[in-house]
Amino acid sequence: MKYLTLKDAVFLTITSIIGGGIFVLSPLTYLIAGKCAIYGWILVLMISMVLVLPFAYATTKITKSGGPYKYVMRIFGKKVGTIFAYTLWFAGVTAISAVVSFFSIIFNIYFNFEYVGIVLVIFLTLLIINGVKVVGNFLRIFGTLTVITLLFIIFSNKFDLSVFDAKVNLFKVLVTSYFGLWTMTGWEGISIPSEAFKNPERDIGYGLIIGTFIIGILYLLYTLVVISSNITYSELGDVIGALIGNNSLIWVCILLIIGGCVFSWLFSLGWMPYALSHDKIFIPKFSDAFVKLRKGIPTNGVLLNSFIIATLSIYPSKTLVDLGMFLTLISYFVLYLSVFKEKVSAFKIKFVSLLAAVITLLIIAFRVYLLFNGK
């Protein structure tokens, strides 16, 4: 049942990528780099547009659900494709579990309900299994609310353009870009549910590019507001407190943004067991239970992912983010190599994919460096 369009692909990109991370990482990069953090976020936008292009290209070669792993399997074979598929799936599950955990942190600013994250997952799952038309409608609602909320926060504050006079510190700019890129990953989530789109080869690719550019601009403007505030942050509570203050409307809007991110990923990841079962690389005894769609939705796949995510969300969000981000970067690196290796791809996309692979490898190396230095 193909229902989603280019507009839905843009909204799915926005809601899949914009979660709670920007509200924390933007102020924290300001704490690390000072005013020159703005240059780091400009670099984030530029790098993101490079990294998304091979994804957009790969989607033009994919018509069945499963996203990038289908492409990797075609280039490197079934064994590598299978390892890639499970790595990508587990990366997505751990990353979105961290988002659910962060939802609980924000919610409990005003309340004290330990299991609110699990309730959120159950509620959103019930919405998704009502059908792909319901999913499409809520993607538009969550996407619109996400953009409006960020614009409201941005334009209800003042800009200090003198931040662009700050002296550039290359190391601080690179550190800012590294953490900023955490908030820009998630392109695989848009390409996984290909069979839900009317024209996946066109809609998903253009949706990825348009959505990523919109997100990059919103992040850049939001960071400009944060830096212009001249507030000093020391802990996560300070960041959240300064952002929300006594404005319960902002609190509600942030919860809706995070909820929209969880909604998008629950929908997208639900297609992984479906695709793996069709390719006969899922657990043999259970694969038959995941090959059918109900109202255009892989219901059993959604239920399985919801259970895993609800379970993992009880663990510390930092641990989940670190693990999910590392696995995601490894997966991206393999995809970029796949695009580069494809014999029929043009020179331009080969060059971009090679550049993306090098950038991703440098990010991984930088993360390992920080790890061994106790950061």
Q: Domain locations in the chain?
A: 6-372
pLDDT confidence of residue 120: 96
Reply yes or no on whether the pLDDT at 346 is more than 70: yes
pLDDT band at 261, cuts 50/70/90?
very high
Task: Please determine, for residue 298, whether its predicted confidence score (pLDDT) is greater than 90.
Answer: yes
Average pLDDT over residues 233-258: 73
Q: Which helix (H) or strand (E) holds 122?
A: helix 116-128
The answer to whether the CB of 242 falls within 8 A of the CB of 27 is yes
Q: Across residues 50-65, what is the average pLDDT?
A: 87
pLDDT at 33: 86
What is the Cα 293 distance to its own chain's centre?
25
The answer to whether domain 6-372 has CATH 1.20.120.80 is no
- Vertex 279 angle, CA 274 and 281, to 5°: 90
What pLDDT sits at residue 27? 80
Higher per-residue pLDDT: 355 or 369: 355
Question: How far out from the chain centre does Cα 337 lie?
Answer: 21
- C-alpha 192/C-alpha 329 separation (Å) is 17
Rounded to an integer, the average pLDDT of 94-119 is 89
d(CA 5, CA 144): 16
Question: What confidence score (pLDDT) does residue 374 get?
Answer: 60
Instruction: Note the pLDDT tens digit of each residue in 153-175.
Output: 888 878 888 888 888 888 889 88
- How confident is residue 72, by pLDDT bands cut at 50, 70 and 90? very high
pLDDT higher than 90, residue 43 = yes
Q: Give the pLDDT of residue 326.
A: 85
Does the pLDDT at position 231 exceed 80? Answer: no
What pLDDT score was predicted for residue 129? 94
Kindly indicate the confidence band of residue 233, based on its pLDDT and cuts at 50, 70 and 90.
low
- Taking residues 84-91, what's their average pLDDT? 93
Query: Looking at the predicted structure, is the pLDDT value of residue 111 above 90?
Result: no
Residue 174: the pLDDT is: 86
Determine the residue type at 26: S
Q: Has residue 1 got a pLDDT over 60?
A: no
Q: Is it the case that residue 16 has pLDDT exceeding 60? A: yes
Mean pLDDT for 76-105 is: 91
pLDDT of residue 211: 94
Query: Over 60: is that where the pLDDT of 236 sits?
Result: no
Dihedral sign from CA coordinates of 273, 278, 279, 283: positive
pLDDT at 364: 86
* Share of residues in the chain with pLDDT > 90 (%): 43
What is residue 314's predicted lDDT score, i.e. its pLDDT?
Answer: 86
Distance between CA atoms of residues 375 and 369, nearest Å = 9
Q: Kindly report, residue by residue over 135-144, the tens digit of the pLDDT.
A: 999 999 999 9
Average pLDDT over residues 72-79: 92
Distance CA(63)–CA(38), nearest Å, equals 39
Residue 235 has pLDDT above 70, yes or no: no
In this prediction, residue 287 carries a pLDDT of: 79
Question: pLDDT grade, residue 248 (50/70/90)?
Answer: confident
CA-based torsion, 233, 237, 239, 242: positive or negative: negative
At 193 the pLDDT is 85
**Average pLDDT, rounded, for the chain:** 87
